[in-house]
Structure 1
Amino acid sequence: MSLEEGKPMDHQLLAPYADVLCEWLATQEDAMIECLEDLVNTDSNSYDKEGVDAAGHLMASWLEADGIECIWHKMENSGDVLEARIDSVFDKKNPPPAVFVMGHRDTVFPKGTIETRAFSREGMTAFGPGVADMKSGLVLNCFVLKGLQHLIRHTDIGELPFPVVGLFTGDEEIGSPEGRYVIHQMVKGAKAVFNAEPGRISGNVVSARKGGASFEIKVKGKAAHSGVNHSDGASAIGALALIISELHGLTDYETGVTTNVGLISGGMSSNTVAPDATARLDLRYITQEQMSEAMASIQSIVETPRIDGVTATVKVVSAFSPFEASMSESLLMHYQQQAQSLGFSVEGEFTGGCSDAGLTSSMGVPTLCGTGPVGAKMHTDGELCLLDTFVSRTQAVAKSILLLP
């Protein structure tokens, strides 16, 4: 029943190999938890390139020990992107589209966090910085790759029907300013993407997400003494206040579009008309159309003159495309079938948070997110991972990949 070069195995004939794969993964729970502890205990804040890279090299050591090829894509400011490949042999000149398992190694927690709050567990619940978002998902993806490599080495499957690639970035928590370019380059035309963000506390995977963008607004006015010659000044803060009021007016809960100016700064002193002011705006949306319309409105609002002598500009700092449900429908149904065969039920769930799933789905690649172990309280000191979901959700991803039609 092995694969012959140039002759992919019939999809149905892969079922026995999926059983072998899941049986092996069922023996790996202790190893998964041990790897998770080591990874959580490696600080990897988004702005700590050394730490993010250390987390990547730890993952690479697990994969390379099983003969999985690891390739590094150097980044200037953020953690380097780790690519882990299991290639397919047929039709090397025109290889079939690859399946990707993805995740980010960076966390929101400052360097040094593990000195006071390292990995810990209470029974089958694990705690620690990034334990759910998304170091448990990274471990899951590594064991998916290790399991597929186990099939190649210890059964007569020969080779996989298509390449399977792990793509692990280092800057998602800050909007993927560098990693997004590697994702766009590599994932274009892929067969499918499984993004191992944490499974929802409901047990569901994520089948749709809002998109989001961050903007920097800069306002320039003219300084003047607020008592001696107030009329000679032009207040940047005054203009910014008017801008913020209009920006917040774009929020529409019925359509899911929200705007929030969460940071402001400016001025010199309380008795000086403010010569400058800045603000950071967060925008969330559900569709690409909403994204385009809101961005145009924001630019118009900011650049409309309001006070003589004051100018304002806006620039996009980072942006995630929305992960629309239409891009997960078929993959979700396939994943649900495999989960059911493993003894658990799962639904797709919408969330307002952004992820790199928005990047891949916007490229037309079928994508499923939240395929990591179940977690909760992400980005807080109480972040947790339910360890008893580790094996079953790893099996579900691995089986879904191997049996993809």
Structure 2
Amino acid sequence: MTTPAERQICDWIADRRDAMIDLLREVVDTDSGSYDKTGVDAVGERFERFFEEHDISAWRERNEVYGDAVHALVTEPGDNRKPVLLMGHRDTVFPKGEVARRPFTIEGKRAYGPGVADMKAGLVMNVFVAAAFKALGGAPCPIRVLITSDEEIASPSSRPIIEREGRTARAVYNSEPGRPTGNVTTERKGGVFMRFDVYGKAAHSGGNFSSGISAIGEIAHKIVQIHALTDLQKGITLNVGLVSGGQSVNTTAPHAEGQIDMRYVEPADRAATLAAIEKIIATSTVPGTSAKLEIKGEFLPVVQTPDARDLFVAYKASAADAGLPDLDGEFSGGCADSGFTASVGTPTICGVGPVGGNAHTPEEYLEIDSIVPRAQALALAILRTQAE
């Protein structure tokens, strides 16, 4: 059952379906790979213009290497209550030029293009929900919008910003794409991404074999040992997904390197698994080799606390009133920025964006008809936030 104020905001959103698609087309048709600061900032500038067009206060937190963080705030003067935080990233995994190869297109009820679901549609949804409250009022607390720039590379510049904003929020909705089932994400794995280097000694493999020390021989032992740490029952997985090394086929390898993807569910398993990896790296099987380990990036897990469970139950009821009665919560083995806000203790729901699938591939798609009801569900959830 919805109130007149709730119906008004839902109607406002529904009336802007075409405008949401138009904005989505613009931002998808701008290359914004994580390392392309110019492109990432161009997408940020388009959202800044949107905020200006809707008289929403916005500002930029600058970064010299990665894209700038874009902030916006919808509030009444003097309102010091904790805000609801609507969050998302605008970077993609795709290289510069991807848009020229496959720009935004609509085929039937699906839209395609680089980052269309992951997660430019979620950003479009967030800014229109903020605009709805700016136009109509009625929000029970301030609404903060955070648009970050480097999630696809584990948020090296954005993590401290996300954690800072998360600590000041009463609830966080991260608008990663809704699951292909239509569900949202209530729990996620954490992930640690590492590189390790192995050092040996070069020698001619025919004329001076005994003087050589093979880094490739050593890395092979380490890979087997690292993979053996996988414990599927606990949700711990280890994958050495990239390896390289050697100088030539007729030289014992003086160097080799590998990159490790480690995933876990329980925060306590992070330290134990990492300690086991560190021991493997420090212990040589091939005499004379040495190795070093470096953490390149990390995501924290989303663990559903009682407060987060309550937030989800309330969101689910709002989704049902927005025409999504079958929506439920799912666990995901993927990582996201939502882990940073969940880990500072703020109730967090992820995957509340429009529904999509096949992220990070040329087949990435967005279900067009999910844009409006997902935006309405978020708006209703905000409207029903309990005043402090």
1:195 to 159, 167, 174: 174
Look up the equivalent residue of 1:30 and give its one-letter code.
Answer: D
2:318 to 335, 338, 345: 338
How far off is 1:328 after superposition? 3.1
User: Is the Cα contact below 8 Å between 2:23 and 2:124 reproduced in 1?
Assistant: yes
Look up the equivalent residue of 1:400 and give its one-letter code.
Answer: A
Give the aligned partner of residue 80 of structure 1.
68
283-292 or 326-335, which deviates more:
326-335
How far off is 1:132 after superposition? 0.6
Look up the equivalent residue of 1:258 and give its one-letter code.
Answer: T
Which segments of 5 or more consecutive residues in structure 1 lack a partner in the other structure?
1-13
2:341 to 336, 360, 375: 360
Alpha-carbon distance between aligned partners in 2 of 1:127 and 1:189, rounded to the nearest angstrom: 36
Give the aligned partner of residue 396 of structure 1.
377
Q: Classify the secondary structure of the residue corresponding to 2:235.
A: coil
Q: After superposition, give the CA deviation of every residue in 1:19-60 in whole Å (9 maximum; x if it has no partner).
A: 321121121111111111111111111111100100111111
User: Is the Cα contact below 8 Å between 2:140 and 2:385 reproduced in 1?
Assistant: no
Alpha-carbon distance between aligned partners in 1 of 2:223 and 2:24, rounded to the nearest angstrom: 43
Give the aligned partner of residue 353 of structure 2.
372
Look up the equivalent residue of 1:79 and give its one-letter code.
Answer: G
1:381 to 362, 366, 381: 362
Q: After superposition, give the CA deviation of every residue in 1:186-206 in whole Å (9 maximum; x if it has no partner).
A: 221310000000001111011
RMSD, aligned α-carbons: 1.4
Alignment of 1:117-132 (within 5 A): 117-132=102-117
Q: After superposition, give the CA deviation of every residue in 1:240-280 in whole Å (9 maximum; x if it has no partner).
A: 11111100001111111110101111111111111111110
How far off is 1:16 after superposition? 4.1
Look up the equivalent residue of 1:75 and give its one-letter code.
Answer: N
1:177 to 151, 156, 161: 156
* 2:297 pairs with 1:318: yes
Give the aligned partner of residue 96 of structure 1.
81
Alignment of 1:13-52 (within 5 A): 15-52=3-40
Alignment of 1:240-251 (within 5 A): 240-251=219-230
How far off is 1:90 after superposition? 4.1
Alpha-carbon distance between aligned partners in 2 of 1:295 and 1:369, rounded to the nearest angstrom: 26
Q: Classify the secondary structure of the residue corresponding to 1:373.
A: strand
Q: Classify the secondary structure of the residue corresponding to 2:122.
A: helix
User: Is the Cα contact below 8 Å between 1:251 and 1:258 reproduced in 2?
Assistant: yes
User: Is the Cα contact below 8 Å between 1:192 and 1:367 reproduced in 2?
Assistant: yes
* 2:100 pairs with 1:115: yes
User: Is the Cα contact below 8 Å between 1:218 and 1:312 reproduced in 2?
Assistant: yes
Alpha-carbon distance between aligned partners in 2 of 1:130 and 1:226, rounded to the nearest angstrom: 48
Q: Classify the secondary structure of the residue corresponding to 1:312.
A: strand
User: Is the Cα contact below 8 Å between 2:355 and 2:370 reproduced in 1?
Assistant: yes
1:139 to 107, 124, 136: 124
How far off is 1:185 after superposition? 2.0
Alpha-carbon distance between aligned partners in 2 of 1:34 and 1:357, rounded to the nearest angstrom: 27
Give the share of equivalent positions with the same residue, in percent.
44
TM-score by length of 1: 0.92
Alpha-carbon distance between aligned partners in 1 of 2:76 and 2:350, rounded to the nearest angstrom: 24
1:328 to 308, 312, 323: 308
Q: After superposition, give the CA deviation of every residue in 1:81-120 in whole Å (9 maximum; x if it has no partner).
A: 10111134345xxx22221000000011111111120011
Alpha-carbon distance between aligned partners in 1 of 2:54 and 2:78, rounded to the nearest angstrom: 22
Q: After superposition, give the CA deviation of every residue in 1:107-159 in whole Å (9 maximum; x if it has no partner).
A: 1111111112001102321111111111110100011110110113xxxx5xx
Give the aligned partner of residue 273 of structure 1.
252
Look up the equivalent residue of 1:149 and give its one-letter code.
Answer: K
Q: Classify the secondary structure of the residue corresponding to 1:228.
A: coil
